[in-house]
Chains A and B, each alone.
Chain A
C-alpha cells in the first residue's frame, strides 16, 4: 500500500513536471494567413523568455512570455519583418533574448569554444595514440637476449 502511494506520488510529480512543456505556453492564435502563422511559430522558438530563462517563448507560460507573444502577434499583423521584430526585442532585452545570438566579438567564444575544445581533445588523442604505437613497435629485446631466452627454454640451463 505504502509503495503504491509513493509510486502514485512519483507519477503525479512526473506529470506536473512534464506539464508545462507539454501544455506549452502557446495561446490560441487567429491568424487568417497561414504564412503569418508559420512565421509566428518559428519566431516563438527563436526568442527566449527573459524571466524563465531556459524556456523559449513557445514553452513558457509566464505572464511576461504571454505579453511578448502578444507583442509578436501584433507586430506580425502590422506587417513587420522578422528582422524588425528581432531588432525590437534585442533593443529592449539585449541579445540575451535570442536563442541564437549573432557571431560577434562578445559571442565569439560562445560559438567557437566547443569546437576549440574538440580540437584540443583530438590533438591530445592523436599525440597519445602515436606515442603508444611507437612503444609497441619497439623490439622487446635485442637478438642476443632472445637467443639466450630460447636456450633457457629448450635446455633448462643458462650456460
Chain B
C-alpha cells in the first residue's frame, strides 16, 4: 500500500497527459452553432447579379437547400467551389450569401468559374451574416423542408464532406415529411 503511493504522481501525469492529448485534437475554431435545430433566420436582400430583384429565405419554400456563405476575398471559398459545382450537378439546390463583398468583385468571382448557385444574396454590410452567426467564410448551412437549420459546416467543403456528410443528410431530410 505504501509503495503504491509513489505511483500517485505517475497516475496524475498520465491523467493530465490524456486531457492534453484530447485537447490537441480539438479545434478551438470550431465554435458549435446554437442555430442548428432552430428556424433559419429570415432575410431579404438584393440579388448580386440584379440589384433590383429581392431574394431571400422565402424562396427556399419546402425544399431541402444549402446556403453557402462566401466572398471573393475568401481564398478557401475558391478552393471549395468545385465541390459546390459537383453538389449542384447532383441536384442539390445551393443558394449563396455573398458576404461583405464588393458587387463587382463578387460578380468577377462568379464569372471566372461556373456558377453553382440558384441565386446570390448580396450582404454588403454583413448584417444577415451576423444574424446567421457567421464568423468566417466559407460556411455552409443545410436547411430542411420546414425551414429549420439542420447542419452547419465551417470552412471549405471537401469532396469527402460532400459525399459522406452533405449528400446523405440532404437525402435523409428530403425523406422527412413537411
A50 touches B32 (CB 8 A): no
A94 touches B32 (CB 8 A): yes
Per-position 1/0 for A44-88, Cβ under 8 A of B: 000000110100000000011001100100000000000000000
Tell me which residues across on chain B come within 8 A of A51, comparing CB atoms. Answer: 135-136
B135 touches A90 (CB 8 A): no
| A64 to B33 Cα, complex, angstroms | 16
B contacts with A: majority SS: loop
B35 touches A92 (CB 8 A): yes
Tell me which residues across on chain B come within 8 A of A53, comparing CB atoms. Answer: 28-29
B127 on interface, CB distance cutoff 8 Å: yes
- Count of B interface residues, CB-CB < 8 Å: 19
Tell me which residues across on chain A come within 8 A of B129, comparing CB atoms. Answer: 67
Interface residues of B (CB under 8 A from A): 28-29, 31-35, 38, 100, 125-127, 129-133, 135-136
> Residue B127 contacts which of A71, A90, A96 (CB distance < 8 angstroms)?
A71
B151 to chain A, nearest CB (A): 16
| A13 to B38 Cα, complex, angstroms | 46
Band of interface residues on A = 10 to 19
B131 touches A92 (CB 8 A): yes
Most chain A CB within 10 A, of B32, B38, B125, B133, is at: B133
| A19 to B40 Cα, complex, angstroms | 39
Tell me which residues across on chain A come within 8 A of B126, comparing CB atoms. Answer: 63-64, 67
Tell me which residues across on chain B come within 8 A of A63, comparing CB atoms. Answer: 100, 126
Interface residues of A (CB under 8 A from B): 50-51, 53, 63-64, 67-68, 71, 90-94, 96
| A64 to B69 Cα, complex, angstroms | 14
Tell me which residues across on chain B come within 8 A of A91, comparing CB atoms. Answer: 34-35, 38
B108 to chain A, nearest CB (A): 20
B34 touches A94 (CB 8 A): yes
A71 touches B130 (CB 8 A): yes
Residue contacts A-B, CB under 8 angstroms, 19 given: A51-B135, A51-B136, A53-B28, A63-B100, A67-B125, A68-B130, A71-B130, A90-B34, A91-B35, A91-B38, A92-B34, A92-B130, A92-B133, A93-B34, A93-B133, A93-B135, A94-B32, A94-B133, A96-B31
A101 to chain B, nearest CB (A): 13
A107 to chain B, nearest CB (A): 14
